[in-house]
């Protein structure tokens, strides 16, 4: 019996009995039993499995003792645990079009994934327990909040839009920034310390209980080696993924999506049930309003213009004193003008209103 036939026989036993191979048992919490069907998790989906190669397990946080074999098109939910076993890979695309790719022997948890394009808000938090994952985070311009964080047993990485790889064995974390990336890295044991900033094609290491190490630039061969575990057989490394089209059954009657339902996109709005649907159609701009020139209101001249005293005056003291004197002088002159205007004119006759001639002495 050849080695390939033996492996196929062993895999068929695993799928039939629901057992897991011993090589991946240490990556999984507890001893979950595998189900052939897929039950959706609680709430609305936050992403979808886009690519799978090998054996990848999905565990819902509400029931971590029940596992499902990942397939392309399955939805994922908050608190889900994703485990790529030996020689396996998986890529998940999120609602904001960010992607997370798992290398072999990797376990991650979706701690939080919120995306609200109407409120200009994104908040995502992932926990990398063991292994290696690549995060291609979509840059969202004009958003009030667009945080995306990844935590390991020794470090926390924070970005707004980047392409980076995080690898950990539980006692050491290595963070590598790829193209067009700026991210911050702090130690879990020293959260009060200033973060280390990584820019494109640089990396740092964070041992347990220690501060991040020195930032070092990566050579081209190192960058290729970092990217290599994320290549899918026959598909290469691939570009940042887009949301999958809905090519399966529609959303379930209870409002939760199962397999193949359209994934929420960046322009979607929630419907009455709270689920995100298709993007709103683009409305044409209203025609311009043309008014006759005679009806246009004339702008009013500015009134009561005063210097902005809320900002500090950075001019030299001599100039400040001169400006202050001029201001005081102007106030006094205005006050005198008002007082003079209220007095009767002594040179004008109150009876005739005619000014008497001036006597000029020869």
Question: Rounded to an integer, what distance in angstroms lies between the CA atom of residue 156 and that of residue 150?
Answer: 6
CA distance 242 to 196: 31
Q: For 155-307, where are the alpha helices, taking DSSP H only?
A: 220-227
Single out the residue of 19, 80, 86 nearest to residue 56, CA to CA. 86
List, in order of start, the domains of the chain with CATH numbers.
3-230 (2.60.120.1440)
pLDDT in the model for residue 31: 85
Would you give the distance in Å from CA 4 to the centre of its chain?
44
- Within 10 A of 95 (CB to CB), how many other CB atoms are there? 25
Secondary structure of residue 278 in the 3-state scheme? strand
Nearest to residue 56, comparing CAs of 33, 22, 77, 81? 81
CA dist., res. 128 & res. 173, Å (int): 10
DSSP helix/strand/coil, 148: strand
pLDDT for residue 35 = 93
Structure tokens at 21: 């191979």
List average pLDDT for each run of 10 residues in the chain, which is 362 residues long.
42 42 67 92 96 96 94 97 96 97 98 95 96 96 94 95 95 97 96 96 97 97 96 67 37 42 44 41 53 50 46 52 57 46 42 46 46
3-state secondary structure at position 319:
helix
Asked whether the beta carbons of 212 and 205 are under 8 A apart, the reply is: yes
pLDDT of residue 21: 52
Please tell me the predicted confidence (pLDDT) of residue 346: 39
């Amino acid at each position: 019996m050849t080695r390939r036939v033996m492996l196929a026989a062993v895999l068929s036993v695993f799928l039939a009995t629901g057992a897991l191979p011993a090589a991946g048992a240490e990556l999984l919490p507890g001893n979950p039993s595998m189900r052939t069907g897929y039950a959706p998790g609680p709430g609305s989906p936050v992403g979808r499995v886009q690519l799978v190669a090998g054996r990848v397990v999905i565990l819902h946080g509400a029931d971590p003792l029940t596992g499902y074999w990942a397939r392309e098109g399955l939805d994922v939910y908050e608190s889900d645990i994703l485990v790529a076993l030996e020689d396996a890979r998986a890529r998940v695309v999120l609602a904001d079009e960010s992607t997370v790719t798992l290398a072999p022997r990797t376990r991650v948890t979706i701690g939080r994934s919120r995306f609200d394009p109407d409120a200009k808000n994104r908040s995502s938090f992932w926990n990398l327990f063991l292994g290696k994952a690549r995060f291609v985070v979509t840059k969202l311009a004009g958003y009030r909040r667009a945080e995306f964080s990844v935590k390991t047993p020794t470090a926390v990485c924070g970005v707004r839009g980047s392409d980076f790889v995080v690898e950990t064995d539980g006692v050491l974390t290595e963070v590598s920034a790829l193209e067009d990336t700026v991210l911050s890295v702090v130690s879990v044991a020293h959260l009060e310390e200033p973060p280390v900033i990584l820019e494109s094609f640089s990396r740092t290491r964070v041992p347990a209980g220690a501060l991040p190490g020195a930032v070092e630039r990566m050579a081209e061969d190192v960058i290729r080696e970092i990217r290599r575990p994320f290549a899918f057989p026959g598909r290469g490394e691939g570009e940042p993924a887009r949301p999958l089209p809905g090519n399966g059954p529609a959303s379930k009657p209870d409002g939760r999506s199962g397999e193949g339902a359209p994934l929420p996109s960046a322009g979607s709005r929630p419907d009455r049930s709270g689920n995100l649907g298709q993007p709103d159609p683009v409305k044409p701009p209203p025609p311009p309003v043309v008014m006759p020139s005679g009806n246009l209101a004339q702008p009013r001249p500015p009134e009561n213009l005063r210097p902005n005293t809320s900002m500090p005056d950075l001019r030299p003291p001599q100039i400040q004193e001169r400006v202050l004197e001029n201001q005081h002088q102007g106030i006094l002159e205005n006050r005198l003008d008002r007082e003079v205007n209220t007095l009767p004119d002594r040179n004008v006759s109150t009876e005739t209103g005619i000014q008497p001639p001036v006597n000029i002495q020869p």
